[in-house]
Amino acid sequence: MASGGSGFRNGTRNTMRNSPSFPVPKPTPAKSRNGTSIAGIRRASGSVAVNDDAGVPGRVRVAVRLRPKNAEELVTDADFADCVELQPELKRLKLRKNNWDSDTYQFDEVLTEFASQKRVYEVVAKPVVESVLEGYNGTVMAYGQTGTGKTFTLGRLGEEDPAARGIMVRSMEDILADISPETDSISVSYLQLYMETIQDLLNPSNDNIAILEDPKTGDVSVPNATVVEIKDQNSFLNLLILGEAHRFAANTKLNTESSRSHAILLVHVKRSVKGNHDRAVSVSCENGNASSLIKSFRPQMVRKSKLVVVDLAGSERIDKSGSEGHTLEEAKSINLSLSALGKCINALAENSSHVPVRDSKLTRLLRDSFGGTARTSLIITIGSSPRHRGETTSTISFGQRTMKVENMVKIKEEFDYKSLCRRLDIEVDRLIAENERQRKNYEDDIERLRDNAQQRIDDAERACQIALEAPTQCASEEITELKELLKKETASRRSTEEENRTLKSQMMHLKKSETASNTELIKLHKMLEDEAYQKDKLEEEIAILRSQLLQLSFEADETRRTLDRGGTGKVFPGLDTLMTQIKNPQLRDSENGQKASFAKLFEQVGLQKILSLLGSEDSDVRIHAVKVVANLAAEEANQEKIVDAGGLTSLLMLLRTSEDETIRRVAAGAIANLAMNETNQELVMTQGGISLLSLTADNAEDPQTLRMVAGAIANLCGNDKLQSRLRSDGGIKALLSMVRCGHPDVLAQVARGIANFAKCESRASTQGSKVGKSFLLEDGALSWIVKNANNEAAPIRRHIELALCHLAQHEVNAKEMIGGGALWELVRISRDCSREDIRSLAHRTLTSSPTFFAELKRLRIEC
């Protein structure tokens, strides 16, 4: 994601936006500079991007995929019309607003529920994979509500049915088929991003990996992540299986679900570029030999590219009180990274001058994928159920905004200095060995010659001695003969000594040239180190300049805003204007319009005035005012201001005093939203919130009122600090009393509250801060839990299954659970639960608890 202000996003933007379906522009690899000198290279960096052309524009491609209805939807939605209708031939999607009205959206590809995995790969990912093989960076990302098929699309291995293979597997098959193993290499890292922490799925002990950003090139890397070289498809499949097992183990340990974390697969492709031998590096050296040696080495050109495949967490709108199963911290952090992604996409789509890339780790990791230099393809996944119209609408609008984001794809070639250095090292070692071999031969020759000469001298001396001892007659002849011999031997000895001297001088010469080569090598190493140091310094300066620039642009924005506000001259328009705006029916036409208007009201009228209307005499005004407050409370940014201005107290007061159920329902919803925040949860408790919510529940007739109340209590149940207070104030009993209404939305919230409570309680028991039986069991929740453990509505069932697993983890609960029939449910969960992590949690719990284990043995049940 490129940060704001980079000019390349303009230019072709309008033509792109006007053509709803277009071929991806095929980038022409830019030409490299020839004959680059080492001096030229040194100015840039140790690893030099030879090609720094501006790149080729390429809009982010967006495809939408509809998941087939599952068995549950076929039953529950049987009497209702689907909320979407696809027109794949026109690449259009119709989103039904009601029976007679619908909105139409255009996408790059529209994939129906019958689309095969092969076709999805070919239209969504194959163009990106082909680009990566040409040297460009590429991203394939899936976005959508939980359970709509993101993992199905990206991560299926297809072990049983090859036609089911997902995008990750098919991408690697194409990459391996295209590269040449002698010159190219592929390596892989596999990460999980959960609660703003990056975990290594290939090495779970590596659980807090830092992100490194190169301020010069904008490249993002995770240097401490495990990188595994891939030689064949089997080794890649084994890595995916290992990664999934670690992801599952990490999520089980944290008692969470895979759908709450983002999974990121990084595939690094390094290819050498053929036909670039004219780009030799020339080196000027003092020593002629070394110069010719180094001149014969030419650095190879390499293209490094990266394929990023991202399986995002479920995109449901967890900021609403009615959402399922998220604890507060998780909700905040998933919110943080997904909403940061949304904000960046909005800023890029609107061509804004500032793109808040640094707001989350997800956006930092993906900075190159949106508005950067990568080719990016997004697949949004949806379901057709009218029950999820809200989520489907928000997924579609994310996809539509993303279609406006334009990247500038760029190829990057580098001189491969590492391999040059390696080759030089090998050559120097070869020369050293050769030199040593020759020296040894010379020394042996000298030794042999010396021995020969000595032998001959000894022979001559012996002969001389014999001659001296012989009769005088022949003595003079023999002496002459011997003198002659001695002369010859002396001459031969001299010539041997001369030869010896010559060899020694040759050896000295060789030693000198070896020293010169070593000096040259040391010089080259030093040059590389200097370059790395200069590069680091430049990067530091650029980072400082960037931050100054950001500060300046922030101050400019502030100044502009202040001037704008001063221009209107009206900070608080009158109360009449507020009322007119609240009652204006046009404001209720669209959700976005309504939100924007409320935000404007908030700014213009002032919170105090809005809150004061909660006590108005006119009940119509009171209803509108509480709706305004509830809408403001749904925005996280407003919550603190509302509480500081006494809004929470006023809302609780309305629960106590108002006779109108609509007011009580909307107030409970607002309280539920405020109770997403830990500090506010404590305030709700200290102000007697539980008994007021219980009272509201007792008097409620509308299931939606109960849903709001249950949602608020469920949020409080997720706070570790409030467990015993919540119970003594009657929170658990209040939750259980609401099941009388039987409405599935209410039951889902009750189940969520019970799961939250069980999870916190289990944590407290493990830490030793809670002893004794579970409060849930003491307050009689077990029979409802057991009755609903196999509820046909998936959200209810899933929460209850989790709650049962948490309760069963503590031996003190085991006997009562067996007596209440929970054992059978746990056995069923360990065998039939559709969620593998819950299934295995139940199995582990049953086999590790002595009480459960003994009972299973007694009943001869195998688990």
Ligand X SMILES: Nc1ncnc2c1ncn2[C@@H]1O[C@H](COP(=O)(O)OP(=O)(O)OP(=O)(O)O)[C@@H](O)[C@H]1O
Binding residues are 144-151
Cβ 312 to ligand X shortest distance, Å: 8
Q: Which CB, 68 or 288, lies closer to ligand X?
A: 68
Write out the two tokens for 381: 């996944």
Cβ 172 vs Cβ 129: under 8 Å: no
Which segment (141-149, 235-243, 592-600, 628-636) binds ligand X by CB under 6 A?
141-149
224 phi, psi to nearest 5 deg? -90, 0
Cβ 393 to ligand X shortest distance, Å: 17
Find the binder of ligand X among 151, 255, 291, 518 (CB under 6 A).
Answer: 151
Write out the two tokens for 199: 């975990």
Which segment (55-63, 129-137, 143-151, 510-518) binds ligand X by CB under 6 A?
143-151
Q: Which CB, 150 or 271, lies closer to ligand X?
A: 150
Cβ 262 to ligand X shortest distance, Å: 10
Cβ 590 to ligand X shortest distance, Å: 28
Find the binder of ligand X among 46, 144, 647, 795 (CB under 6 A).
Answer: 144
Helices (H) and strands (E) in the chain, counts: 34, 17
Cβ 743 to ligand X shortest distance, Å: 25
The span from the CA of 141 to the CA of 310, in Å, is 5
Find the binder of ligand X among 105, 121, 136, 152 (CB under 6 A).
Answer: 152
The span from the CA of 795 to the CA of 751, in Å, is 8
Find the binder of ligand X among 58, 138, 149, 325 (CB under 6 A).
Answer: 149
Q: Kindly state the number of chain residues that form the binding site for ligand X, as judged by CB under 6 A.
A: 14
Binding mask 246-265 for ligand X (x = CB under 6 A): ------------xx------
Residue 240's closest CA among 173, 194, 302?
Answer: 173
Which segment (142-150, 349-357, 422-430, 688-696) binds ligand X by CB under 6 A?
142-150
Q: Which CB, 337 or 813, lies closer to ligand X?
A: 337
Q: Which CB, 136 or 152, lies closer to ligand X?
A: 152
- The answer to whether 148 contacts ligand X (rule: CB under 6 A) is yes
Cβ 381 to ligand X shortest distance, Å: 6
- The answer to whether 394 contacts ligand X (rule: CB under 6 A) is no
- With vertex at residue 123, the alpha carbon angle to CA 120 and CA 127, rounded to the nearest 5 degrees, is 130
- With vertex at residue 820, the alpha carbon angle to CA 817 and CA 825, rounded to the nearest 5 degrees, is 75
CB-count burial class (<10 Å; 0-12, 13-18, 19+) for 717: buried
How large is the greatest C-alpha to C-alpha distance in the chain, in angstroms?
A: 162
Binding mask 471-510 for ligand X (x = CB under 6 A): ----------------------------------------
Residue 191's closest CA among 181, 203, 177?
Answer: 203
CA separation, residue 847 to residues 289, 454, 765, 851, 861 (Å):
74, 90, 19, 9, 12
Q: Which residues pair with 306 in a beta bridge?
A: 268
Q: Which CB, 150 or 270, lies closer to ligand X?
A: 150
Contacts of 339 (CB under 8 A, 6+ apart): none
Residue 530's closest CA among 45, 38, 49?
Answer: 45
Cβ 716 vs Cβ 325: under 8 Å: no
Q: Which CB, 4 or 383, lies closer to ligand X?
A: 383
Write out the two tokens for 594: 């309504």
Q: Which CB, 131 or 261, lies closer to ligand X?
A: 261
Q: Which CB, 112 or 197, lies closer to ligand X?
A: 112
Q: Which residues pair with 200 in a beta bridge?
A: 191
Which segment (150-158, 569-577, 720-728, 853-861) binds ligand X by CB under 6 A?
150-158
Cβ 728 to ligand X shortest distance, Å: 36
Q: Which CB, 248 or 853, lies closer to ligand X?
A: 248
Cβ 111 to ligand X shortest distance, Å: 9
Cβ 798 to ligand X shortest distance, Å: 11
Find the binder of ligand X among 20, 25, 29, 147 (CB under 6 A).
Answer: 147
Find the binder of ligand X among 9, 61, 126, 150 (CB under 6 A).
Answer: 150
3-class secondary-structure state, position 375: strand
Cβ 637 to ligand X shortest distance, Å: 26
The span from the CA of 687 to the CA of 134, in Å, is 64
Cβ 307 to ligand X shortest distance, Å: 20
Cβ 162 vs Cβ 175: under 8 Å: no
Q: How many alpha carbons lie under 13 Å from residue 323 in its C-beta half-sphere?
A: 21
Residue with structure tokens 């290594």? 200
Cβ 157 vs Cβ 240: under 8 Å: yes
The span from the CA of 175 to the CA of 169, in Å, is 10
Binding mask 312-351 for ligand X (x = CB under 6 A): --x-------------------------------------
Cβ 91 vs Cβ 108: under 8 Å: yes
Q: Which CB, 138 or 149, lies closer to ligand X?
A: 149
Residues 56-115 that bind ligand X (CB under 6 A): 67-68
Residue with structure tokens 């100015």? 43
Write out the two tokens for 819: 């007596």
Known binding residues for ATP are 144-151
Q: What is the DSSP letter of 8?
A: G
- The answer to whether 165 contacts ligand X (rule: CB under 6 A) is no
Residue 810's closest CA among 840, 770, 778, 837?
Answer: 770
Q: Which CB, 5 or 68, lies closer to ligand X?
A: 68
Q: Which CB, 263 or 684, lies closer to ligand X?
A: 263
Cβ 308 to ligand X shortest distance, Å: 17
Binding mask 363-382 for ligand X (x = CB under 6 A): ------------------x-
Query: Residue-wise over 812-829: b if at least 16 C-beta within 10 A, else e?
Result: ebbeebbebebbebbbeb
Find the binder of ligand X among 12, 76, 102, 146 (CB under 6 A).
Answer: 146
Residue 344's closest CA among 366, 375, 377, 322?
Answer: 366
Cβ 143 to ligand X shortest distance, Å: 9
Q: Which CB, 314 or 669, lies closer to ligand X?
A: 314
Cβ 756 to ligand X shortest distance, Å: 19
The span from the CA of 434 to the CA of 744, in Å, is 85
Cβ 157 to ligand X shortest distance, Å: 12
Q: Say what angle helices 647-657 and 619-633 make with each other, to 10 degrees.
A: 130
Residues 594-653 that bind ligand X (CB under 6 A): none
Contacts of 782 (CB under 8 A, 6+ apart): 776, 816, 817, 820, 822
Q: Which CB, 50 or 120, lies closer to ligand X?
A: 120
Which segment (3-11, 46-54, 144-152, 235-243) binds ligand X by CB under 6 A?
144-152
CB-count burial class (<10 Å; 0-12, 13-18, 19+) for 509: exposed
Q: Which CB, 324 or 406, lies closer to ligand X?
A: 324
Give the footprint of ligand X on this chain (CB under 6 A): 67-68, 144, 146-152, 258-259, 314, 381
